[in-house]
Structure 1
Amino acid sequence: MTFTFTALLCLGHTLGLRISVLAGSLPKPILRVQPDSVVSKQSKVTFLCGGTQGARWYCLYKEGSQYPLCKEIPSKSGNTAEFPISKIDEHHAGHYYCYYQINGKHSQVSDALELVVTGAHSKPSLSAQPSPVVTSGQKVILQCVSGQNYDRFILTKEGPQKLYQMQNSWYNYTTRKFEAFFSVHPVTSNQRWTFRCYYYDSHNPEVWSEPSDPLERLVSGEEPHPFHLMVR
């Protein structure tokens, strides 16, 4: 894993020390990532580990890695350490934790943060079934289709309350493709939703395909007129 900051690789952090971190008495920090926890390959992300006043040493740890990556922050940085990655790839996907040190004492570890990397496989297609025209208040069925043999599909919705739905894939012997169906709650004309879907291998759940083309719900007039789901 290649980070673009000047970091000290803490070779002294053995398994025994990581166990002591888990039992640390200092409050656990808060781990965040910008711009999002779902990012495409080659994009830049920055992990932010927020500790407490007086903490100068911060460590970021990826589940499955042998050692954490640690850095000392200047006093003017406050109580947050930044860990940027300039170019994300699928090897960066996984669960991350962070902790800090004060006078040789270690904090508890943060809650886990899952980083998902998209773009590892070709994109699927997304469509509305049985028709792109539905009536306000009616449920919408979305179909995600791929020619690749992967066993999970994910549906996402843009917006502040991002929706994730997961479905197992099944093989359509007629089309010779893998697909999944998603039922979306009844929609009304005052909602504007944009959907995308992805697929992935359940044995590597943080590495997704490229996103499908977006499917946008567009209202055609006021209720009770129908609205359309259209691909942009």
Structure 2
Amino acid sequence: MWSTLPALLCLGLYLSLRVGTQNQTLSKPLIWANPSFMVPNGASVSIWCQGTHGAVDYQLHFNGLPFTLAKREPPRLGNKVKFSIQPMTSYMAGQYTCFYRTGGLLSEPSDPLDLVITGMYDTPTLSVHPGPPVLLGENVTFSCHLETATTTFFLRKEGLASRPWRRVGNTRAEFPMGPVTTAHKGTYRCFGSYNEHIWSFPSEPVTLLDTGDVGVTDLASPGQPSSPDNGEPHSATTRKGLQKDLASWDHTAENLFRMGLGLLVLVALACLLTHHWLLRKKTMTRALSMASSQEHRRRFRRQGAPDE
């Protein structure tokens, strides 16, 4: 029985360490830009990073490396921090991620935030055919033209938080949309791009109207969603925050499970040690009893020998 105790102890420690290793990963934080992920050249922008309550430190990375040029303000409510970039330059346009630290553990990186600088180089021209007054159900095509050769064009509807439509082209790109619905009504601008994060000046706005002059609804834009354009996450980000809170709750539950497992291992070891001690005590008592009985017989024999 005694030989099984080290094996059980090692098993308990292995399980405890394995559960503890699973708890080493913290849920990833949220990241967004305010007022927008598109920043005019020379303007200022704030990058927000939101972790869990109790986070002791936040880090901002730019293109995979720590970024120290942004001014960091103290965390608000203990779960988010603001990094300010003033002024915005082409050298600061790129992909950002953030981390937070809690209890000596570093979180997973946030989803990437692509920060774009606008107002570089030339200004494109945007047109729409037919229109801009169109009939519902018609097929509409936006055309973006830039005299200077570029690589990519973007078309953005004002008021949407999602990323613009993207097309590849040298001096012109077309964005077909149709059939037109009330969701397409609104104001559009286009940009020429010299890489994914350096864009031209915006074009003059083109407003798409329908002849019925009906109300407008939000248009679900294809492409990669961007960060919200305000100081707080939008509804999708709120759902992510709820998932993060649930992950934090799971993390606490795993810690409780780990503590309970360790307690069970200690109780089991205590029971085995007690059982072993009782067996040894019983064995020693039996041995002492047998020795006492043998001694009693020897004394009896010695006392009876003279009488014979």
TM-score normalised by the chain length of structure 2: 0.56
Matched, 1:27 2:18: no
Q: What amino acid does structure 1 have at the position aligned with 2:37? A: S
Percent identity over the alignment is 34
Partner Cα separation in structure 2 for residue 71 and residue 221 of structure 1: 50
Q: Which has the larger radius of gyration?
A: 2
1:192 alignment partner in structure 2? 185
Aligned to 2:159: 159
CA distance in 2, matches of 1:88, 1:146: 24
Q: How does 1:27-46 map to 2 (within 5 A)?
A: 27-46=27-46
Superposition RMSD in Å: 2.7
The 3 A distance-change label for structure 1 pair 151 and 61 is same
1:181 aligned onto 2:174? yes
Deviations 1:158-213 (A, max 9, x none): 2346462222214xxxxxxx211110132245752111111112xx2111101100
What secondary structure is seen at the aligned counterpart in 2 of 1:195?
Answer: strand
Give the C-alpha shift of residue 115 in structure 1. 0.8
Measured at CA, do residues 145 and 219 of structure 1 come closer, stay the same or move farther in structure 2, by a change above 3 Å? same
Deviation at 1:117, TM superposition (A): 1.1
Gaps of 5+ in 2: 1-22, 215-308
Q: 1:51 to 1:161 in 2, by over 3 A?
A: closer
Matching residue within 171, 175, 197 for 1:206: 197
> How do residues 132-171 of structure 1 correspond to structure 2 at under 5 angstroms?
132-160=132-160, 162=162, 164-170=164-170
Q: Residue 18 of structure 1 aligns with which residue?
A: none
Q: Distance in 2 between matches of 1:71 and 1:212?
A: 32
Aligned to 1:9: none
Name the structure where helix makes up a greater proportion of residues.
2
Q: How does 1:42-191 map to 2 (within 5 A)?
A: 42-63=42-63, 65=65, 67-69=66-68, 77-130=77-130, 132-160=132-160, 162=162, 164-170=164-170, 178-188=171-181
Contact 1:57–1:72 under 8 Å retained in 2:
no
Deviation of the 1:24 alpha carbon: 5.7
Higher strand share: 1
Tell me which residue corresponds to 1:215: 206
The residue type equivalent to 1:83 in the other structure is F
Task: Provide structure 1 residue ranges, at least 5 long, that are not aligned to the other structure.
Answer: 1-22, 171-177, 224-232
Q: Is the 8 A contact 2:28 2:109 kept in 1?
A: yes
8 Å CA contact retained: 1:123, 1:209? yes
8 A contact 1:155–1:196 mirrored in 2: yes
Give, in whole Å, the separation in 2 of the partners of 1:74 and 1:131. 50
For residues 63 and 191 of structure 1, do their structure 2 counterparts lie closer, same or farther at Cα, with a shift above 3 Å needed? closer
Q: Counterpart of 2:151 in structure 1: which amino acid?
A: D
